[in-house]
């Protein structure tokens, strides 16, 4: 009897690992982006990092003050970048008197679920504003998500971000780059 229970448990575990824990649908995709937005509002870099696959590759093009920088990051590099960005938010907030509001919006333009339901390709846009638009990040993205052991994770990301400085109460660009 004990051996039968062990075999059944192994079969259920194998089914979940190979089939059940890897299927996704559009609702799961949208929940992924809701969690991402919550992590950004909370400035929780670790929550954002948890959403990246260990095999993640992110290609970014950032345009700021007329200069374009292109980078390719793996999971660890992307996590370091998020941590540094949130630290920069803290520094800018302190320079602006200790209170820094963050506004974040995203829009999903399309979700294409693969026929095997193991991945989804998502296209969309996002806007992150800091301190009454003292700094604004406008992005367009194409991302591929997969489910790994029951959790949605970003496997591939391609994004273009335009950064603008300005707005009421903003630091000058020379202050920002000291």
Q: In angstroms, rounded to a whole number, what is the distance separating the alpha carbons of residues 82 and 73?
A: 11
Question: What's the confidence (pLDDT) of residue 133?
Answer: 64
pTM: 0.78
Can you give the pLDDT at residue 92?
A: 75
pLDDT of residue 167: 56
The helices-and-strands tally (H runs, E runs) of the chain is 5, 6
- Confidence at residue 21, expressed as pLDDT on a 0 to 100 scale: 52
Q: In this predicted structure, what is the pLDDT of residue 2?
A: 67
Mean pLDDT of 81-103: 82
Task: Give the per-residue pLDDT at 149.
Answer: 81
Of 170, 153, 164, 11, the closest CA to residue 95 belongs to 170
Percent of the chain with pLDDT over 70: 79
Asked whether the predicted pLDDT for residue 58 surpasses 80, the reply is yes
Q: Cα separation of 30 and 64, whole Å?
A: 29
- Please report, for the chain, the start and end positions of each structural domain, with discontinuous segments joined by +: 2-176
Q: How many CB atoms lie within 10 A of CB 39?
A: 20
Least confident of 5-9, 158-162, 174-178: 174-178
Position 172 scores a pLDDT of 45
pLDDT band at 126 (very low <50, low <70, confident <90, very high): very high
Q: What is the mean pLDDT of residues 73-98?
A: 87
CATH code of the domain occupying 2-176: 3.10.450.50
* pLDDT value at 83 more than 50: yes
Mean pLDDT for all residues in the chain = 84
> Which residues have C-beta within 8 Å of that of residue 130, sequence separation ≥ 6?
89, 92, 93, 100, 101, 102, 136
User: 151-165 and 135-148: which strand pairing?
Assistant: antiparallel
Among 114-118, 125-129, 133-137, which is the least confidently predicted range?
133-137
């Amino acid at each position: 009897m004990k051996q039968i229970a062990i075999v059944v448990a192994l079969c259920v575990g194998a089914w979940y690992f190979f089939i059940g824990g890897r299927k996704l649908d559009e609702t799961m995709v949208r929940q992924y982006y809701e969690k991402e937005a919550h992590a950004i509002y909370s400035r929780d870099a670790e929550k954002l990092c948890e959403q990246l696959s260990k095999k993640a590759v992110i290609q970014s093009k950032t345009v700021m003050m007329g200069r374009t920088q292109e980078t390719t990051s793996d999971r660890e590099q992307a996590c370091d970048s998020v941590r540094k960005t949130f630290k920069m938010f803290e520094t800018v907030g302190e320079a602006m008197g200790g209170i820094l509001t963050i506004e974040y919006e995203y829009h999903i333009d399309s979700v294409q679920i693969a026929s095997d339901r193991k991945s989804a390709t998502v296209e969309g846009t996002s806007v992150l504003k800091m301190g009454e638009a003292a700094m604004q990040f406008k992005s367009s993205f194409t991302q591929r998500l997969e489910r790994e052991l029951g959790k949605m994770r970003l496997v591939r990301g391609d994004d273009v971000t335009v950064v603008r400085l300005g707005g009421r109460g903003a630091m000058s660009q020379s202050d920002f780059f000291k």
